[in-house]
């Protein structure tokens, strides 16, 4: 993880690059190849800067802090997108039904993650909300598997049997104490 000083240095570098690209955009023909390329880079830099601001302020995006109706609707839409991606991934990839880590990777690949993506860029996109949060992905999997029998993996029954066995055993041990 980067230190606060390193993050601030990265922010200043990104701001300098953003200024240079903005100047270059003014000199290019609008809609041309160079202009489109510079615009894509500028969009990426803007996203990274937004993530850095979130990191430096120590803020986390949570449902309670969303105030406006538009922000709440955006949050709900993002959660529904994650749910639909999880559902399609569970239908297509049988091995992801039993492995949450693999499921997260497959969902992130569908959201635009690349195998050789830089860690800082991945972290920035995860913080900004472009990628689904692992907890949301696994919660969606649990809910979908509870509702739809066809999406359950081979370990679903074993997990639930182990859960009830553990609960019963824990209850017996706890009752012995009192």
pLDDT the model gives residue 61: 47
Q: How far apart are CA 127 and CA 1, in angstroms?
A: 14
| DSSP assigned state of 118 | -
Question: Is the distance from CB of 24 to CB of 38 less than 8 angstroms?
Answer: yes
pLDDT the model gives residue 144: 93
Q: How far apart are CA 66 and CA 59, in angstroms?
A: 12
Which helix (H) or strand (E) segment holds residue 18: the answer is helix 4-27
Mean pLDDT of 66-78: 66
Nearest to 133 by CA among 71, 39, 60: 60
- How far apart, in Å, are the Cα atoms of 18 and each of 15, 41, 46, 72, 172? 5, 9, 8, 30, 63
Q: How far apart are CA 160 and CA 34, in angstroms?
A: 56
- At residue 116, φ and ψ (nearest 5 deg) are -105, 25
Judged by average pLDDT, the poorest of 20-24, 80-84, 172-176 is: 172-176
Residues 24-58: tens digit of each pLDDT? 878 877 777 777 777 777 777 777 777 777 666 66
pLDDT the model gives residue 138: 92
Q: Which residue has the tokens 């909300």?
A: 129
Q: Which residue has the tokens 């649990």?
A: 142
**Count of residues in the chain:** 178
Ordered by start, the domain boundaries in the chain are: 1-59, 63-178
Residues 136-163: tens digit of each pLDDT? 999 999 999 999 999 988 888 888 788 7
Assess whether pLDDT exceeds 90 at residue 86. yes
């Amino acid at each position: 993880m980067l230190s606060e000083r390193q993050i601030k240095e990265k922010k200043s570098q990104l701001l300098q690059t953003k200024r240079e690209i903005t100047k270059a955009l003014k000199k290019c023909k609008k809609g041309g190849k160079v202009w489109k390329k510079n615009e894509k880079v500028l969009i990426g830099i803007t996203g990274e800067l937004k993530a850095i601001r979130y990191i430096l302020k120590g803020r986390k995006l949570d449902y309670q802090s969303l105030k406006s109706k538009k922000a709440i609707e955006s949050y709900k839409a993002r959660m529904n997108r994650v749910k639909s991606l999880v559902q399609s991934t569970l239908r297509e990839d049988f091995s992801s039904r039993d492995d949450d880590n693999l499921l997260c990777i497959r969902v992130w690949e569908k959201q635009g993650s690349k195998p050789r993506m830089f860690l800082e860029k991945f972290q920035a996109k995860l913080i900004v909300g472009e990628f689904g949060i692992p907890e949301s992905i696994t919660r969606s999997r649990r809910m979908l598997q509870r509702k739809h029998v066809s999406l359950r993996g081979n370990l679903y029954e074993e997990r639930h049997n182990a859960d009830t066995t553990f609960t019963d055993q824990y209850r017996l041990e706890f009752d012995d104490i009192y």
